[in-house]
Amino acid sequence: MLDARYVTDHLDDVRAALARRGPGAAALLDDVASLAVSRRSLIGSLDALRARKNEVSASLAKLDKKGAEFLEARDAMKRVGEETRVLEVQLAEVEAQLEDKLLHIPNMPHESAPDGTSEHDNRVVRVWGEKPVLEGTVRDHVALGEALGILDFERGVKLSGTRFTVLRGHGARLERALMAFMLDIHSNEHGYEEIWPPVLVKDTAARGTSQLPKFAKDMFKVERFEEGEGARTLYLAPTAEVPVTNLHADEILEGAALPVAYTAYTACFRSEAGSHGRDTRGLIRQHQFDKVELVRFVTPESALAEHERLTAHAEVILQRLGLHHRTIELCAGDLGFASRKTFDLEVWLPGQDAYREISSCSWFGDFQARRAKIRFRREAGAKPELVHTINGSGLAIGRTLVAILEQGQRPDGTVTIPEALVPYMGGVHTITPRR
RNA sequence: GGAGAGCUGGCCGAGUGGUCGAAGGCGCUUGAUUCGAAAUCAAGAGUGCCCGCAAGGGUACCAAGGGUUCGAAUCCCUUGCUCUCCUCCA
């Protein structure tokens, strides 16, 4: 979230920055400044009252507990106590309101993010490779996968409903191979520490990365059966970003340790509320999918360069797989809620005759760090500062599998496995129909 | 699931209603000493918020939340977590 004090002191700037996201975003600021002001004045009065209470209480300790002086002062303090309680309630109320407003305000787009209102205004930054020349009928991954017997959509639906898929044989193997391939490159070559986190997370973690409170409907909520009072609600992480970023929630990192870089494979769960009817066919938009994530905790001054670096790390995967793709930068109007600047990698899918997002690499400034209280100290004794967080998919595995099928298809319906992946596939070079 | 013990500052650990933000030790920082180091001695170190240009001042924080009280790390309640033993399980 944004800093209330910064918003109050730079109201016009913040308003202008948020306006770049489109109409509406800036309007959310209206009450923040006034709430922040009344919060400060309440704290002022409250602290003064408490100071007096502390002072008098200390002197009371030395008095004869039955003396008239003691009794009189005690009664006076009783009234001060009540007054304090009233102010405390008011303050709690104001702070709750302020917090609620702030949690719903999106991040300010960075000045380098291009202007624009929708995905049509996104800017192509670079293109890698070119569209493969495919002989014969171009098929999409659904047709290919079903014919090869590696994608079983029907049984996915039977087990779990729409947007769930069963991978089998070389399909399942490919999914596993991609996981290991990506993790190996990021941990061995790019210097990321491999993490294996829980995927059921507390609401506090989801709040830290900003899925909550605003995007609760996009997640699966898990309740423990029975339990009564102690019942706990957990959320299925929609991305490893949530557990991995929150690894350092409420911590102060040593400046020398930055950048801290983690990579993690997790299954990801999205309820996809509000996307009914979109991408209903195939693997593109599932309730459960696999992804390898990259997360970096960095200093503010290195953030822009670090963002480029992380994006490049994700691009390497597509390059090693020989998959034609392009990198685009999102315009201000298309940025995610928490992001200041985002590069998307879009892979070419011949079956759809379109480029589709396969990775989204975002720089969040201190937006997540403020929510999750992730700080660093430049040197011993220095004041703690908020870190900057950056993350991106490196990559979405299901969509990578789709791209391999569609870009690697041959006229006879078989699929060529990218050379780099062959060792991970147990030496298999080509996926051919089962039996 | 059952029984018990506990949760204090970076760590260990005192503390049982008033001067406790908290003894002591370890660790850390800075000085002194030393050719340098070790040892020793001295001083200093928490985090948030509010006021202040600053120096500095105020306030809150002893797992979390509530309560009792003029006053709570200390008493009461609720929740969470940790540990030990049993049970169960992968």
Average pLDDT over residues A171-188: 98
Q: What is the pLDDT of residue A228?
A: 45
pLDDT at A347 > cutoff 80: yes
Q: Which nucleotide is nearest to A77 (CA to C1')?
A: B70
Through-space separation of residue A252 CA and nucleotide B33 C1' in angstroms: 36
Confidence of residue A276 (pLDDT cuts 50, 70, 90): confident
Name the strands in the sheet holding A388-396, side by side, starting at the edge strand that comes first in the sequence.
A123-128, A325-329, A341-349, A354-363, A388-396, A288-298, A260-269, A193-195
Q: What is the DSSP letter of A420?
A: G
* Residue A99 to residue A32: CA distance in whole angstroms: 9
* Residue A16 to residue A22: CA distance in whole angstroms: 10
* Residue A85 to residue A79: CA distance in whole angstroms: 10
Classify residue A426 as left (phi > 0), alpha (psi -120 to 50) or beta: left
Q: Which nucleotide is nearest to A380 (CA to C1')?
A: B29
Amino acid at A395: L
Q: What is the pLDDT of residue A72?
A: 83
Residue whose pair of structure tokens reads 């975002």 in the numeric block: A362
In this prediction the pTM is 0.94
Amino acid at A65: K
β partners of residue A377: A254
Through-space separation of residue A287 CA and nucleotide B89 C1' in angstroms: 30
Active-site residue set of A = 270, 285, 357, 360, 399
Query: What is the three-class DSSP state of A148?
Result: helix
Distances from the Cα of A155 to the Cαs of A146, A229, A271, in angstroms? 12, 38, 19
* Residue A430 to residue A435: CA distance in whole angstroms: 14
pLDDT at A225 > cutoff 80: no
Distance from the first to the final alpha carbon of chain A: 55
Element (H, E) at A268: strand A260-269
- Give the tokens for residue A109: 């787009």
Please report how many Cα atoms fall inside a 13 Å half-sphere around the Cα of residue A274, on the Cβ side.
6
Residue whose pair of structure tokens reads 């001060």 in the numeric block: A80
pLDDT at A227 > cutoff 70: no
Confidence of residue A229 (pLDDT cuts 50, 70, 90): very low
Q: Measuring CA to CA, which residue among A341, A434, A326, A334 is closest to residue A392?
A: A341
* Residue A342 to residue A357: CA distance in whole angstroms: 12
A388-435: pLDDT as tens digits: 999 999 999 999 999 999 999 999 999 999 999 999 999 999 999 976
Question: Cα-flanking dihedrals φ and ψ of residue A41, to 5°?
Answer: -70, -35
Through-space separation of residue A263 CA and nucleotide B36 C1' in angstroms: 45
Please tell me which residue, A240 or A274, carries the higher pLDDT value.
A240
Q: Measuring CA to CA, which residue among A113, A126, A163 is closest to residue A314?
A: A126
Q: What is the pLDDT of residue A435?
A: 60
Q: Which nucleotide is nearest to A377 (CA to C1')?
A: B47
Q: Which nucleotide is nearest to A39 (CA to C1')?
A: B50
Determine which of A66-75, A175-184, A232-241 has the lowest per-residue pLDDT on average. Answer: A66-75
* Beta pairing, strands A251-254 & A374-377: parallel
A132-154: pLDDT as tens digits: 999 889 999 999 999 999 999 99
ipTM of this complex prediction, to 2 decimal places: 0.89
Average pLDDT over residues A257-278: 91
Average pLDDT over residues A335-350: 97
* Residue A293 to residue A382: CA distance in whole angstroms: 32
A9-20: pLDDT as tens digits: 999 999 999 999
Q: CB within 8 A of A266, min separation 6: which ones?
A: A197, A199, A237, A239, A240, A243, A290, A291, A293
Confidence of residue A230 (pLDDT cuts 50, 70, 90): very low
Neighbours of A87 (CB within 10 A): 18
Following CA atoms A313, A319, A324, A329 in sequence, which dihedral angle do they give, to the nearest 10 degrees?
A: 20
Through-space separation of residue A99 CA and nucleotide B22 C1' in angstroms: 32
Neighbours of A377 (CB within 10 A): 16
Q: Nucleotides on strand B with an atom closer than 7 A to protein CB?
A: 18-19, 28-29, 45, 47-51, 57-60, 70-71, 78-81
Through-space separation of residue A230 CA and nucleotide B76 C1' in angstroms: 21
Please report how many Cα atoms fall inside a 13 Å half-sphere around the Cα of residue A118, on the Cβ side.
1
Q: Which nucleotide is nearest to A226 (CA to C1')?
A: B1
- Output the CA torsion sign for A252, A254, A258, A264: negative
* Residues having Cβ less than 7 A from any atom in strand B: A 5, 40, 43-44, 46-48, 50-51, 53-58, 60-62, 65, 74, 77-78, 80-81, 229-230, 232, 252, 375, 377, 380-381, 383-384
A363-383: pLDDT as tens digits: 999 999 999 999 998 887 788
| Residues A289, A271 contacting (CB under 8 angstroms) | no
Through-space separation of residue A338 CA and nucleotide B77 C1' in angstroms: 40
Through-space separation of residue A381 CA and nucleotide B29 C1' in angstroms: 8
Q: What is the pLDDT of residue A5?
A: 92
